[in-house]
Chains A and B, each alone.
Chain A
Amino acid sequence: MKYVDEFRDRQLAEQLAKAIAAEADSAREYRLMEFCGGHTHAIFRYGVQDLMPENVRFVHGPGCPVCVLPIGRIDNAIQLVQQHDVILCSYGDLLRVPASKRMSLLKLKAAGGDVRMVYSTQDALRIARENPQRQVVFFAIGFETTTPPTAMAIKQAQTEGLENFSVFCNHVLTPAALTAILGSSESSGSGDVAIDGFFGPSHVSSVIGSRPYEHFAVHYHKPVVIAGFEPLDIMQSTLMLIRQLNAGRTEVENEYTRLVSRDGNTKAQALVAEVMERRAEFEWRGLGMVPDSALQIRTAFAAFDAEKRFALSAVSASDIKGCECPRILRGQKRPTDCKLFGTVCTPENPMGSCMVSSEGACAAYWSYGRFRQTQQQAQ
């Protein structure tokens, strides 16, 4: 696979590992947060941490739209099926996330609820066309990468007059999440993990460009390197962050130049701006109410807004007692710090989103790395 395999080359990895080892200052620690769940996944899948010196540590952030979706929103989706008999179309990622009363979309499906997994919004539109007598709701989640396809679907539904189609919109914004994390680690002060630098998300940045990150570097004095998805991208970006930290620079640099520009995809941005607008605030699992952090459908497209079409009450569901997802999402605790990890909470029986989603820190730890962690702790 061109433009994929070359960025996984082992020989180049060894060279980069040597460079990192040579330039990392042994007198200090480098705590680098990868905001994006895709980076977490890649780090574990390829074993990138093994190639790092001891003092370079990856801290796993909340960049998983499934992980940060509050239970209440899934409860709402379940309501749509149970009380309004809709056909609910959802990406695969959401199906196993635990909601209230030990329910999930997958369990709802098993109990006879009409929940259908889709790969694309186009599938949801097709289902709506094929079932004109039923209401079809698309459960929209994701950061800025996944938002333009949803906006496109709404426009298409409007053009076609697809009246039985609507969207339950849960799209969230990356810059707000970064602010929330940085704000919490600055202000709370007790037992927090200071983060030295950030890997900017690959594909969100492909859509929004590198410009939105510039004020972080300035305002919070932290370097940001927008990193590609492949393991060599992550390593090169690590090197770039180390160099910035060593030199006392706090800039936004772009490693993923083959797909990220300063302006991003303006066509996609314009489309989103046409169809959606910012909510005043939105609840994030683990971060509470965050202002300016999510999108809702504009009044002009209200006909396709599931929250307007169906009376959905805001459900504020509390996290399970002992579940450390909120602090893990902020990088303040590690999965192994959670009492439920590996005992009550496992991939077979997940308590919180961090374990359900394969991007979540806990699932990644469990699948790929928990044994090493325990081995290291034992030493």
Chain B
Amino acid sequence: MNEMIRFSQRLNTRDNTVDLSHGSGGRAMAQLIEALFIKHFDNELLRQANDQAAFNVSAGRMVMSTDGHVISPLFFPGGDIGSLSVHGTINDVAMSGARPLYLSAGFILEEGFPLADLERIVASMGEAAAAAGVPVVTGDTKVVEKGKGDGVFITTTGIGVVPEGVHISGERAQPGDAILLSGSIGDHGVAIMSSRENLEFETTIESDSAALHTLVAEMVAAVPEIHCLRDPTRGGLATTLNELAQQSGIGMRLDESAIPIKPQVAAACELLGLDPLYVANEGKLICICPAAEAERLLAVMRAHPLGREAAMIGTVSADPNGFVEMQTRFGGSRVVDWLAGEQLPRIC
């Protein structure tokens, strides 16, 4: 791959910015693809440089998932929009119990976006994909006029294959099932807020953004009868539990003192008047399983780096209204409802 022969100048990522020619299908775009995307995503399928990637599939159920990423700020403690998009789609695929195979990535770039930032993001995606063993095999780039995009938007799609005998789905929760959580809540949301304007506070909290597929693989291997898996991203733990309750037509009883939370996350939420139950996570999962399997699953989770603080946080109850109730740390009881709109910091 000799960039210098085909292009008159090396791509200058240090000083230059995205311009409309990068999305127009001509030489500039070809150079961008080669010097940035192919360089950092670096895999056989992508190097074939076709508009599509062709591969064989093994027998079994296939899973596909897609996500648009519009996060701001683009760079935050513990990650960036690039690593977030790779982890996010790997996780969505993995929550079906599937082994993720490949990713695609579509970029919508705003005219004027610094190439240095783009390279940083693409490099981060490449690292995340390589570490996870799930390559980005195909993609697309478009450029919009200045003012019509927020720097960069990324859409990732992932495919995977579900092992035989595994049926994980949101409507499978049964009364009596155990509700497990892989680790502390609120890390990602607090990390994002700490780097937003007007809410400056200093914390060492980093986003928990991570690819959970190897954790899921071990869990599913140990207990194929897992009923539900879901990662509590936007809207936090509370929203995801309510979704599952509604899908399965059951209720839940939680124990607040069993829910892991880092002291700094709790403190940041106190300062801003936020409820950590509604703050986003990007490297955690909820698992609903038959009660008899809970202990074994917890042991498997705790043995994995991403599940060290795994805990059983509640049980599924028979409840036609689908209420998620929680025994508070204080001894009383409260209902954990859906999030109404975006949670905003409050003074009252």
- Whether the complex brings A and B within 8 Å at their CB atoms is answered yes
Known: A1-B267, A10-B329, A46-B334. A92 touches B347 (CB 8 A): yes
Q: Is the CB of B347 within 8 A of A93?
A: yes
Q: Which of B199, B266, B267, B334 is the one whose CB lies under 8 Å from A369?
A: B334
Contacts A37-B348, A117-B198, A347-B340; A44 near B334 (Cβ below 8 A): yes
Bitwise, B185-226 to A at CB < 8 A (1) or not (0) is 000000000000011000000000000000000000000000
Contact flags B334-348 to A (C-beta < 8 A → 1, else 0): 110100110011111
A10–B330 CB distance below 8 A: yes
In the bound complex, how far is the Cα of B340 from the Cα of A358, in angstroms?
Answer: 10
By a CB distance below 8 angstroms, the chain B residues around A17 are 331
Flag the segment in A48-56, A181-189, A191-199 that touches B.
Answer: A48-56
On whether the beta carbons of A48 and B346 are closer than 8 Å, the reply is: no
Does B328 lie at the interface of the complex (its beta carbon under 8 Å from any beta carbon of A)? yes
Residues of A within 8 A of B330 (CB): 8, 10, 13, 46-48, 231
Q: How far is the CA of A346 from the CA of B266 in the complex (A)?
A: 28
Q: Roughly how many angstroms separate A122 CA and B330 CA in the complex, as a whole number?
A: 35
Beta-carbon contact of B348 and A359 below 8 Å:
yes
Known: A64-B348, A93-B348, A357-B348. A346 touches B340 (CB 8 A): yes
* Cα A13 to Cα B331 with chains together (Å): 8
Q: How far, in angstroms, from A358 to B199 measured CA to CA in the complex?
A: 20
Cα of A51 to Cα of B348 in the assembled complex, Å: 25
Distance between B215 CB and nearest chain A CB, rounded to angstroms: 31
Asked if B44 is an interface residue, CB under 8 A from chain A, the answer is: no
Q: How far is the CA of A363 from the CA of B185 in the complex (A)?
A: 24
User: Cβ of B347 and Cβ of A1 under 8 Å apart?
Assistant: no
Q: How far is the CB of B192 from chain A (nearest CB, A)?
A: 15
Cα distance A159–B198 in the bound complex, in angstroms: 23
Assembly CA distance A223 to B346 (angstroms): 30
Contact of A371 with B335 in the complex, beta carbons under 8 Å: yes
Q: Please measure, in the bound complex, the distance between the C-alpha atom of A270 and the C-alpha atom of B272, giving whole angstroms.
A: 28
Given contacts A13-B330, A118-B198, contact A146 B335 (CB under 8 A): no
B255 CB to closest chain A CB (Å) equals 12
- Let me know if B341 and A347 touch, CB within 8 A: yes
B142 to chain A, nearest CB (A): 24
A366 lies within 8 A of chain B by Cβ: yes
Bound form: Cα–Cα A17–B17 in Å: 65
- On chain A, the number of residues with a Cβ less than 8 Å from chain B's Cβ atoms is 46
Do A92 and B346 have beta carbons less than 8 Å apart?
yes
The minimal Cβ–Cβ distance linking A120 to chain B, given in whole angstroms, is 8
Please give, as numbers and ranges, the residues of chain B lying within 8 Å of A160 by CB-CB distance.
Answer: none
The CA-CA distance from A63 to B148 in the complex, in Å, is 43
Expressed in whole angstroms, the minimum distance between the Cβ of B125 and any Cβ of chain A is 30
In the complex, per-residue mask of B249-290: 1 if CB is within 8 Å of any chain A CB, else 0: 000000000000001001100101001000000000000000
Is residue B165 contacting chain A, with contact meaning CB distance below 8 A? no
Q: Does B147 contact A (CB under 8 A)?
A: no
Asked if residues A366 and B344 are in contact (CB atoms below 8 Å), the reply is: no
Known: A347-B341, A366-B337. A47 touches B332 (CB 8 A): yes
Chain A positions within 8 Å of B333 at CB level: 47, 50, 372
CB contacts (< 8 Å) of A359 on chain B: these are: 348
Chain A residues contacting B346 (CB-CB under 8 Å) are 91-93, 358
B321 at the A interface (CB under 8 A) = yes
Q: Which residues of chain A are within 8 angstroms of B323 by Cβ–Cβ distance?
A: 371
Complex Cα distance, B199 from A92, in Å, reads 11
Given contacts A119-B198, A366-B337, A371-B323, contact A93 B332 (CB under 8 A): no
| A243 is an interface residue with CB less than 8 A from chain B | no
| Complex: A14 Cα to B330 Cα, angstroms | 9
| Given A1-B267, A38-B348, A370-B335, A46 contacting B341 (CB threshold 8 A) | no
A45 CB within 8 Å of chain B: yes
Are A46 and B332 in contact, CB atoms less than 8 angstroms apart? yes
Q: With A64-B348, A118-B198 as known contacts, state yes or no: A47 contacts B321, CB within 8 Å.
A: no
Q: Of all chain B residues, which has the CB nearest A122?
A: B198
Q: Are B348 and A368 touching (Cβ within 8 A)? A: no
Set of chain A residues within 8 Å of B337, measured between Cβ atoms: 347, 366-368
Quick check: B341 and A96 within 8 Å, CB to CB?
yes
> Can you list 25 contacts pairing A with B, beta carbon distance less than 8 Å?
A1-B263, A1-B266, A1-B267, A1-B270, A4-B270, A13-B330, A37-B348, A45-B275, A46-B330, A47-B328, A47-B330, A48-B332, A65-B348, A66-B348, A119-B199, A119-B272, A119-B347, A347-B340, A348-B340, A357-B348, A358-B346, A371-B321, A371-B323, A371-B325, A372-B333
Q: Which residues of B contact A (CB under 8 A)?
A: 198-199, 263, 266-267, 270, 272, 275, 321, 323, 325, 328-335, 337, 340-341, 344-348
Complex A-B, nearest 8 residue pairs according to Cβ-Cβ distance, in ascending order: A47-B332, A347-B340, A92-B344, A50-B332, A46-B330, A368-B334, A47-B333, A91-B347
Task: Name 5 extra pairs, CB < 8 A, besides A47-B331, A92-B345, A372-B333.
Answer: A50-B332, A92-B347, A93-B344, A116-B198, A368-B337
